[in-house]
């Protein structure tokens, strides 16, 4: 059987049950942005890992080594942010092809260090080895949360307001410029930068995890049409999302007009935005949203509501039900 | 500049200093088998990660998927053993080429599960993605040690007895059979198995970390001629090792005669034995060695002595000084 027939999640479901009996009581394993391991009286530790492969996740000729180093750590810190955690340290494994020189690696480590410094995350270890062809980068990050306060995908409640922390689809717009071979200029910097050097919402995550009423949370890596479903499945609820409420930047809007892109599709299933997706108790939403805006000078954007029913997204356009065929990536297609 | 000019450790030295100021007080980062992070009053947590690349670390046509799954975890558990730790959980990232089917992955996970079960190590998370060509496998393991009891490379003392927990060079012998295209039969199973399905010395490590007098410890992944130097550098001491005392199995001895291999070279610089290398206070050696034999029905084998001087190994043959040119792998040659 080919892997594409069952996909990443189908594969995980095949072996996950066999490992369940090895799980000791309080540890939460496979199935969220991070695993949660009780560490001491006051803290749970959270752990995440991500593997980036050349020509699958990035093209070496498109992304600078500095950006690649930055992004390799950023996508992991984003998982820490998704739980509302504070990073403790990271581990970097890197398989290096022969044609990659030390100067490239120095720039890569500069980018990695830049983001490490920003969130005070030490590089604690790793592995360096040879690769015959493609550059492979695996990062593991350990973080911490106040005991029992890590925000999980499974905690969405019926009636919750569904929110995101920023505009969606920008990264996908940047990627599209690269894929289409557009001769980019400084007007494109915003979208390209969102794609090459995403910013993990660490401070936003920590802030939101302290707020009562913030229930489920995750980061947006595959696009909300795919990611929100993870929350719905884990929480056994349904959702209604109005496409008019999805935040789209002026930059994405302009380029979409220019190049005839479907901005809504980019925003819902483009992926790699690394904004946070969360559900908030409706009675707390106004307060949390106001506090969030005061703290971060940007709104907590409401895009829909958690409802009762099957774990699927019911899309509307100004309240009218619509169909949306696009779905998140399946890496194995 | 090409990476092979400076090697893995030269590369690490380039960026390590920049990350030092991000290290908070009690965490021990880059430079040992595992990082050490204080978790609570009684425990330190230890973390290690290893990246295995197809055609660099393994040949898919030589190793069965079960063995590959087993080995991917084993090499990491061996680092936990090296500190005297007990594994808590593992994280598996895997980049899968298109020509690899679900049945292969099932067998891989069976091998991974077999070893997970043996040492009660839950699989807590990971990442599954596509690879354009080579299978890439990264495993991270978190373990725990009694506070302050993790055995480090930097704790060897002058006069210490240098010991290993088992025969050396067997894995290199198994690899040589494969590289030479020998038509293997059941007589070769011992060496091949040592190469394909190494056993992490978890119980031995836990036992030894409880013993007073066991000072420095590490696992043997690159061969003692390379690995022992890490202890010497970290502890700022020298060593004398007599090649006659290096444990060589009958199987390696027999095949070495048959195929004209240098068994001593295989044993000192072959790598991937995953036995433990440790230094023991001479006043404790007899007791520790006796207890170890009672517990594990195998001896703790004395191979040399820690001495004062430069961090280098002075090899002897029945007490007479000799030169040994072979050194551990440099992955970038």
* pLDDT tier at B330, thresholds 50, 70, 90: very low
Name the class of domain A19-146. alpha beta
- pLDDT for the residue numbered A325: 64
What pLDDT sits at residue A31? 83
Structure confidence by residue, pLDDT tens digits, B201-231: 999 999 999 999 999 999 999 999 999 999 9
Domain map (residue ranges) of chain B: 3-146, 153-321
Pairing of strands A136-146, A86-97: antiparallel
Q: Which 3 state secondary structure label does DSSP give B125?
A: strand
Cα of A35 to nearest chain B Cα, Å: 6
| ipTM of this predicted structure | 0.93
Measured between beta carbons, the chain B residues lying within 8 angstroms of A138 are: 49, 51, 93, 127, 136, 138
pLDDT band at B332 (very low <50, low <70, confident <90, very high): very low
The confidence score (pLDDT) of residue A331 equals 41
Task: Give percent of chain B with pLDDT exceeding 90.
Answer: 80
SS3 B221: coil
A95 inside 8 A of chain B by CB:
yes
Q: Using the beta-carbon criterion (under 8 Å), do B57 and A331 form an inter-chain contact?
A: no
Q: What is the dihedral of CA B209, B211, B216, B218, to 10 degrees?
A: -40
Cβ neighbour number for residue A18 with a 10 Å cutoff: 15
Contact A234, A174 (CB under 8 A): no
CATH architecture group of domain B3-146? 2-Layer Sandwich (3.30)
Q: Look at the block and give the residue holding tokens 């993870």.
A: A230
> Quick check: A128 contacting B, CB < 8 Å?
yes
Higher per-residue pLDDT: A18 or B164: B164
Summarize the confidence of residues A57-72 as an average pLDDT.
95
Contacts of B23 in chain A (CB under 8 A): 122
Question: From the DSSP assignment, how many helices (H) and strands (E) are in chain B?
Answer: 10, 12
Tell me how far apart the alpha carbons of residues B311 and A282 are, in angstroms, rounded to a whole number: 65
Per-residue pLDDT at B5: 86
Mean pLDDT of chain B: 93
Helix (H) or strand (E) holding B168: none
- Chain A stretch 304-333, residues whose beta carbon is closer than 8 A to a beta carbon of chain B: 331-332
- Residue A106 labelled as part of a binding site: no
Residue of A nearest to B50 (CA): A127
Give chain B positions within 8 Å (CB) of A40.
39-41
In chain B, which residue's Cα lies nearest the Cα of A125?
B30
The angle that helices A3-20 and B102-118 make with each other, rounded to 10 degrees, is 20
B107 CB within 8 Å of a chain A CB? no
Select the residue from A11, A51, A87, A110 to test the B interface by mutation, using most B Cβ atoms within 10 A: A51
Under CATH, what is the fold of the domain A153-321?
Phosphoribosyl-aminoimidazole Synthetase; Chain A, domain 2 (3.90.650)
Size of interface A-B (CB pairs under 8 A): 245
Residues of A within 8 A of B8 (CB-CB) are: 128-129
Interval A10-33 mean pLDDT: 86
Residue A103: Cβ within 10 Å count: 10
Lowest mean pLDDT across A187-191, A261-265, A324-328, B171-175: A324-328
Say whether B48 counts as a known binding-site residue.
yes
Q: Is residue A294 exposed (0-12), middle (13-18) or buried (19+ Cβ within 10 Å)?
A: exposed
Q: How many CB atoms lie within 10 A of CB A290?
A: 12
- Choose among B39, B124, B143, B29: nearest CA to B86: B143
pLDDT per residue over B79-135, tens digit each?
999 999 999 999 999 999 988 999 999 999 999 999 999 999 999 999 999 999 999
A55 — contact with chain B (CB < 8 Å)? yes
Q: According to the model, what pLDDT value does residue B47 have?
A: 97
Nearest residue of B to residue A113, measured between CA atoms: B19
Helices B189-196, B170-179: axis angle to 10 degrees equals 100
CA dihedral sign of residues A114, A120, A121, A122: positive
Chain B contact set for A133 (CB, 8 A): 132-134
Q: Does A132 touch chain B (CB under 8 A)?
A: yes
3-state SS track over chain A = CCHHHHHHHHHHHHHHHHHHCCCCCCCECECECCEEEECCCCEEEEEEEEEEEECCCECCCCCCHHHHHHHHHHHHHHHHHHHCCEEEEEEEEEEEECCCCHHHHHHHHHHHHHHHHHCCCEEEEEEEEEECCCCEEEEEEEEEEECCCCCCHHHCCCCCEEEECCCCCHHHHHHHHHHCCCCCCHHHHHHHHHHHCCCCCHHHHHHHHHCCCEEEEEECCCCHHHHHHHHHHHHCCEEEEEHHHCCCCHHHHHHHHHHCCCHHHHHHHCCCCCCEEEEECHHHHHHHHHHHHHHHCCCCEEEEEEECCCCCEEEEECCEECCCCCCCCCCCC
Burial call B84-117: b when 16+ CB within 10 Å, e when fewer: bbbbbbbbbbbbbeeebebebbbbbbebbbebbe
pLDDT band at B325 (very low <50, low <70, confident <90, very high): low
The candidate with the shortest Cα–Cα distance to B91, out of B44, B55, B50, is: B50
| Interchain CB contact of B210 with A (< 8 Å) | no
Residues of chain A with Cβ-Cβ distance to B54 below 8 Å are 132
- Which of B6, B19, B75, B121 has the highest number of chain A CBs within 10 A, making it the mutation to test binding with A? B19
Q: What is the pLDDT of residue A21?
A: 81
Evaluate if residue A291 carries a pLDDT over 60: yes
pLDDT the model gives residue B333: 39
CA–CA distance, A231 with A52 (Å, rounded to integer): 24
Residue located via tokens 């040492």: B119
Question: Which band of pLDDT confidence, cut at 50, 70 and 90, is reported for residue B329?
Answer: very low
pLDDT confidence bin for A332, thresholds 50/70/90:
very low
Residue A218: beta bridge partners?
A277
């Amino acid at each position: 059987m080919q892997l594409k027939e069952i996909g990443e999640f189908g594969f995980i479901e095949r072996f996950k049950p066999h490992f369940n009996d090895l799980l000791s009581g309080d540890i939460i394993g496979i199935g969220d942005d991070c695993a949660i391991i009780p560490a001491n009286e006051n803290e749970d530790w959270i752990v995440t890992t991500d593997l980036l492969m050349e020509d699958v996740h990035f093209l070496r000729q498109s992304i600078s080594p500095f950006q690649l180093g930055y992004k390799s750590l950023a996508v992991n810190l984003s998982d820490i942010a998704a739980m509302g955690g504070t990073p403790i340290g990271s581990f970097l494994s890197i398989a290096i092809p022969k044609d990659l020189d030390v100067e490239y690696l120095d720039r890569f480590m500069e980018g990695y260090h830049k983001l490490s410094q920003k969130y005070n995350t030490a590089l604690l270890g790793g592995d360096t080895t040879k690769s015959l062809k493609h550059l492979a980068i695996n990062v593991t990050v350990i973080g911490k949360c106040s005991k029992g306060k890590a925000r999980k995908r499974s905690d969405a409640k019926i009636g919750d307001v569904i929110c995101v922390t920023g505009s969606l689809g920008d990264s996908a717009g940047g990627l599209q410029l690269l894929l289409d071979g557009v001769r980019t200029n400084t007007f494109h910097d915003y979208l390209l930068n969102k794609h090459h050097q995403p910013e993990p919402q660490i401070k936003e995550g920590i802030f939101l995890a302290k707020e009562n009423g913030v229930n489920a949370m995750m980061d947006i890596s595959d696009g909300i049409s795919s990611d929100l479903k993870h929350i719905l499945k884990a929480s056994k609820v349904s959702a209604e999302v109005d496409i008019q409420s999805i935040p789209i930047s002026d930059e994405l809007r302009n380029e979409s007009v220019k190049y005839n892109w479907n901005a809504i599709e980019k925003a819902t299933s483009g992926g790699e935005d690394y904004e946070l997706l969360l559900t908030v108790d409706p009675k707390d939403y106004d307060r949390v949203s106001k506090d969030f805006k005061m703290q971060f000078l940007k709104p907590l954007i409401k895009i829909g509501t958690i409802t009762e029913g099957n774990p699927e997204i019911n899309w509307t356009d100004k309240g009218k039900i619509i169909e949306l065929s696009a779905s998140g990536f399946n890496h194995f297609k």
